[in-house]
């Protein structure tokens, strides 16, 4: 807690003197009318006088990216609209690049300084420049200068930032410049852009941008009644704190953790430095909403560049806190935003609960600046069949609310404000894709049997209650993997026994005779719950997670097993444990199942009619101990996602190495072959439930290796079934066999050639 308090203190601003008089003078100048240039001149003179500065200048960014001097008091008047700097040039360019204030004792000594003789700035040493920020983007720079060699006070920096915020909205609203002058000013991104990222969830979508972080609306920046704004802010903060207190109340002590993370979040909400910053900003003349935006900027400047993941997580907490406060100010603290039709959600990152709050019927796609294919948002997006592209660098600052946006998750690209020809071509692709999906739908009731008579069971991966609604539509033969941790990840508190039992009962009832396989909690690693204590680990993927956590916290795992057994209520039950690394771990986990069965029988409750307990093969260590493991299991499932990352020592959440090693490589294919052979020799049923199973080419390789039970995302079932109906299993088995001896890093190209030669429909 001490460390967090110190970081909060770093974020806190000194008391803002309050540029209310200056803001009122600027507003009066705007209302006086007159030519544009005269109004601009009056504005910079007013600011210079208030700041006791000898120079005040406004620079705005042209569409070309150049920064143009639009108005000045103190520099040469004939330099206005003449002095232009290339993108990134000079101190003004440096401020634009960093998006932060620059406060210098001697401007000319800074390495980025660019001398412009036509401005007559040589005599001036002290320099303070702040960006004009709108919607997270810098559209210009406001500068004050003095002859004296000195550093401007913190209060001066704070005041100038507040003035810059208001000026940015005035420029955008046409109060400072007429429409003719504005036509070449880049108030918001307007050019067509294509961004390359990473595919998180397959699909195509075309719609309008909706920013997950709702911007402060123009026109609500300056307060008419400071006292009323202070009262509004106080009520909203009290409401927010009560909401957060309610999240914690009644959930302590169930499994032993001290709930440090949630307590930390509550501490932030009660932080005096945070509330003082908000109060000071309102006292300066801003509305409560503008004050939140002001404090948000401070948070980003203080922690945005932090490399420490702990501090980065605190920034995420602060961002969420500010978002929640804005909703309370608007009176919608408990309401989800209303989306327009065909909405494309834009965010830096999302938690699973954030995504589920939006109306699925209107949400067409998702674009993220950060994240990974294994992130919570990506997993939920795939489960909800929402196209998603992530790792789009600079996304949030390149798009504005209402922009036309394309999500191309097939090629992992995003198109911002696409040209008409791009939209036309993309629409054609969407039609073709829809036709293909219709063709897949027609195969729903067709058994997945190869041309030479080999039957393949196609199962569906699930994790949310909404998945059950689409099970009949997919043609899946059951749920091969139900990720039970999703219920925990989207909750604000640990789900209690009754809530777990009700969900598992619904899954069993929804699956019916097709059946469902429940994976016990796979938490830890990148799946950190906000209400459970989690120590920072150097390498969480190799740390305290999955069955290790369950065995160390047996109360947590036993509660889940008890809920599963109660939900079965005399029906068949299949349970498997994730990331089993040793035979002893499986023995210990299975012993907990036996204890819970005995507990239920002693109380006169019906045990499952048929109980099957299995293990997921994800840790390479098990590959050389299958002879000891398999006789103890009723079935096993290969988790190719984790097995691949552990086999190649490549973090699948790290963009630099996640795609470096191919699942269609000889080493990985040999491992899969050895697992299949061991299971066949012992008579142990085996399935594959990783992402690999849902991609036609990879599924072709799995079938050639002898796998006949594949579990995949719902969207993969149609394409994989179409592929299966077109193959001769023996032919592809013979074709793949020599590739396993290849010394190449990947045999993907060779498998594609094999598919073409054997007329496989991919």
Q: Which of 349, 343, 278, 346 is nearest to 320 (CA)?
A: 349
Which residues are CB-contacts of 598 (< 8 A; sequence separation ≥ 6)?
none
Q: Cα 624 from chain centroid?
A: 37
CATH class of the structural domain 2-12+217-330? mainly alpha
In which element (H, E) is residue 517 found?
Answer: strand 516-519
What is the signed CA dihedral for 530, 533, 536, 540, rounded to 10 degrees? -70
Is 1 a residue whose pLDDT tops 60? no
Q: How confident is the model at residue 713 (pLDDT cuts 50, 70, 90)?
A: confident
SS (H, E, C) 407-428: EECCCCEEEECCCHHHHHHHHH
Per the DSSP assignment, residues forming a β-bridge with 146 are 126
Map residue 375 onto helix, strand or coil.
Answer: coil
Is 37 a residue whose pLDDT tops 50? yes
Alpha-carbon distance 524 to 249, whole Å?
A: 24
617: left (phi over 0), alpha (psi -120 to 50) or beta: beta
Give tens-digit pLDDT for 303-351: 544 444 444 445 555 666 777 777 778 776 555 567 888 999 998 877 6
Q: What is the β-pairing status of strands 67-73 and 84-85?
A: antiparallel
Q: How confident is the model at residue 576 (pLDDT cuts 50, 70, 90)?
A: very high
Check residue 9 and give its pLDDT: 35
CATH architecture, domain 443-458+640-688+690-762: Alpha-Beta Barrel (3.20)
Map residue 260 onto helix, strand or coil.
Answer: helix
Which residues are CB-contacts of 498 (< 8 A; sequence separation ≥ 6)?
none
Pair of tokens at residue 400? 């504005």
CATH architecture, domain 193-214+337-433: 3-Layer(bba) Sandwich (3.50)
Pair of tokens at residue 761? 């429909």
Give tens-digit pLDDT for 578-608: 999 999 999 999 999 999 999 999 998 889 9
Question: Hunting for tokens 């039992």 — which residue is that?
Answer: 501
Per the DSSP assignment, residues forming a β-bridge with 344 are 209, 365
Alpha-carbon distance 494 to 499, whole Å?
A: 10
Q: Which of 629, 615, 205 is nearest to 434 (CA)?
A: 205
Contact between 289 and 217 (Cβ < 8 Å): yes
When comparing pLDDT for 337 and 704, which is higher?
704
Taking residues 161-184, what's their average pLDDT? Answer: 67
CATH architecture, domain 478-635: Alpha-Beta Barrel (3.20)
Alpha-carbon distance 83 to 60, whole Å?
A: 11
Contact between 145 and 122 (Cβ < 8 Å): no
Check residue 258 and give its pLDDT: 30
Q: How confident is the model at residue 190 (pLDDT cuts 50, 70, 90)?
A: low
For the chain, give the mean pLDDT: 81
Taking residues 643-669, what's their average pLDDT? Answer: 83
Is 55 a residue whose pLDDT tops 90? yes
197-206, 468-477, 562-571, 724-733: least confident range: 468-477
- Residue 625 annotated among the catalytic residues of the structure: no
Q: How confident is the model at residue 228 (pLDDT cuts 50, 70, 90)?
A: confident
Q: What is the β-pairing status of strands 457-462 and 479-483?
A: parallel
When comparing pLDDT for 456 and 171, which is higher?
456
What are the residue boundaries of the structural domains of the chain, listed by start? 2-12+217-330, 33-182, 193-214+337-433, 443-458+640-688+690-762, 478-635
Tell the CATH topology of 33-182: Beta-Lactamase (3.30.450)
Taking residues 16-30, what's their average pLDDT? Answer: 65
Give tens-digit pLDDT for 263-300: 555 666 777 777 888 888 888 778 888 888 777 666 55
176-190, 266-280, 546-560, 567-581: least confident range: 176-190
Q: How far is CA 354 from CA 290, 360, 491, 746, in A?
A: 23, 12, 11, 38
Q: How confident is the model at residue 22 (pLDDT cuts 50, 70, 90)?
A: confident
Is 255 a residue whose pLDDT tops 50? no
- Residue 689 annotated among the catalytic residues of the structure: yes
Residue from 56, 388, 679, 689 carrying the catalytic annotation = 689
Q: How confident is the model at residue 696 (pLDDT cuts 50, 70, 90)?
A: very high
First and final C-alpha spacing in the chain: 55
In which element (H, E) is residue 365 found?
Answer: strand 363-368
When comparing pLDDT for 107 and 354, which is higher?
107
Contact between 455 and 447 (Cβ < 8 Å): yes
Q: How confident is the model at residue 8 (pLDDT cuts 50, 70, 90)?
A: very low
393: left (phi over 0), alpha (psi -120 to 50) or beta: beta
Alpha-carbon distance 435 to 438, whole Å?
A: 5
Q: How confident is the model at residue 558 (pLDDT cuts 50, 70, 90)?
A: very high
Pair of tokens at residue 659? 């795609």
Domains 443-458+640-688+690-762 and 478-635 in one fold: yes
Map residue 388 onto helix, strand or coil.
Answer: strand
Q: How confident is the model at residue 13 (pLDDT cuts 50, 70, 90)?
A: very low
13-17, 155-159, 332-336, 711-715: least confident range: 13-17
Residue from 125, 212, 328, 376 carrying the catalytic annotation = 376
Check residue 332 and give its pLDDT: 61
């Amino acid at each position: 807690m001490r460390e967090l308090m110190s970081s909060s203190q770093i974020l806190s601003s000194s008391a803002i003197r309050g540029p209310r008089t200056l803001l009122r003078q600027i507003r009066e100048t705007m209302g006086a009318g007159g030519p544009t240039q005269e109004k601009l001149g009056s504005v910079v003179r007013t600011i210079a006088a208030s700041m006791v500065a000898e120079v005040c200048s406004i620079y705005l960014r042209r569409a070309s990216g150049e920064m143009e001097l639009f108005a000045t008091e103190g520099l040469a008047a004939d330099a206005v609209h003449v002095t232009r700097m290339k993108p990134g040039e000079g101190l003004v360019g440096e401020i634009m690049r960093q998006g932060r204030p620059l406060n210098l004792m001697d401007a000319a000594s800074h390495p980025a300084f660019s001398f412009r003789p036509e401005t007559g700035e040589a005599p001036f040493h002290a320099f303070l420049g702040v960006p004009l920020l709108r919607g997270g983007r810098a559209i210009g720079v406001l500068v004050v200068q003095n002859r004296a060699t000195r550093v401007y006070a913190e209060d001066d920096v704070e005041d100038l930032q507040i003035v810059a915020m208001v000026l940015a909205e005035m420029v955008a609203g046409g109060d400072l410049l007429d429409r003719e002058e504005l036509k070449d000013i880049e108030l918001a991104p307007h050019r067509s852009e294509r961004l390359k990222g990473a595919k998180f969830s397959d699909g195509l979508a075309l719609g309008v941008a909706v920013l997950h972080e709702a911007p402060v609306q123009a026109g609500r920046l300056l307060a008419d009644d400071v006292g009323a704004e202070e009262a509004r802010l106080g009520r909203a903060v009290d409401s927010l704190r009560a909401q957060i207190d309610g999240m914690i109340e009644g959930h302590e002590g169930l499994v032993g953790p001290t709930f440090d993370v949630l307590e930390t979040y509550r501490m932030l909400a009660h932080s005096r430095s945070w509330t003082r910053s908000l109060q000071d900003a309102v006292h300066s003349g801003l509305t409560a909403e503008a004050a939140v935006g002001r404090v948000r900027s401070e948070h980003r400047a203080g922690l945005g560049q932090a490399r420490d993941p702990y501090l980065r997580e605190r920034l995420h907490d602060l961002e969420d806190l500010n978002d929640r406060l804005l909703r309370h100010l608007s009176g919608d603290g408990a309401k989800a935003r209303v989306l327009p039709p065909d909405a494309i959600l834009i965010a830096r990152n999302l938690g699973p609960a954030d995504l589920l709050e939006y109306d699925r019927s209107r949400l067409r796609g998702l674009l993220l600046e950060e994240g990974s294919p294994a992130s919570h948002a990506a997993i939920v997006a795939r489960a909800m069949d929402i196209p998603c592209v992530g790792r789009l660098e600079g996304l949030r600052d390149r798009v504005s609310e209402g922009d036309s946006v394309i999500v191309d998750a097939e090629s992992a690209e995003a198109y911002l404000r696409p040209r008409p020809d791009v939209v036309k071509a993309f629409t054609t692709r969407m039609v073709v894709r829809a036709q293909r999906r219709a063709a897949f739908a027609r195969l729903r009731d067709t058994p997945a049997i190869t041309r030479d008579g080999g039957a393949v069971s196609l199962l569906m991966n699930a994790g949310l209650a909404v998945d059950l609604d689409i099970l009949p539509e997919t043609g899946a033969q059951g749920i091969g993997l139900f990720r039970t941790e999703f219920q925990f990840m989207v909750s604000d508190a640990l789900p209690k026994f009754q809530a777990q039992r009700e969900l598992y009962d619904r899954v069993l009832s929804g699956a019916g005779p097709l059946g469902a396989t429940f994976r016990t909690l796979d938490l830890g690693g990148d799946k950190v719950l906000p209400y459970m204590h989690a120590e920072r680990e150097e390498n969480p993927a190799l740390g305290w997670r999955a069955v290790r956590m369950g065995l160390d916290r047996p109360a947590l795992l036993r509660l889940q097993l008890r809920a599963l057994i109660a939900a079965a209520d005399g029906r068949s039950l299949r349970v498997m444990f994730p990331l089993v690394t040793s035979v002893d771990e499986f023995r210990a986990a299975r012993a907990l199942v036996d204890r819970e069965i005995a507990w239920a029988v002693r109380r006169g409750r019906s045990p499952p009619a048929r109980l099957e307990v299995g293990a997921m093969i994800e840790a390479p260590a098990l590959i050389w101990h299958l002879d000891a493991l398999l006789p103890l299991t009723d079935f096993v499932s290969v988790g190719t996602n984790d097995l691949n990352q552990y086999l190649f020592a490549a973090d699948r959440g790290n963009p630099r190495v996640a795609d470096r090693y191919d699942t269609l490589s000889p080493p990985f294919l040999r491992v899969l072959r050895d697992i299949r052979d061991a299971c066949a020799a012992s008579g142990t049923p085996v399935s594959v439930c990783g992402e690999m199973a849902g991609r036609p080419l990879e599924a072709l390789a799995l079938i050639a290796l002898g796998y006949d039970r594949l579990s995949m995302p719902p969207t993969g079932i149609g394409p994989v079934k179409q592929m299966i109906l077109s193959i001769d299993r023996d032919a592809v088995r013979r074709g793949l066999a020599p590739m396993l001896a290849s010394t190449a890093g990947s045999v993907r190209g060779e498998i594609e050639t094999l598919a073409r030669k054997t007329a496989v429909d991919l």
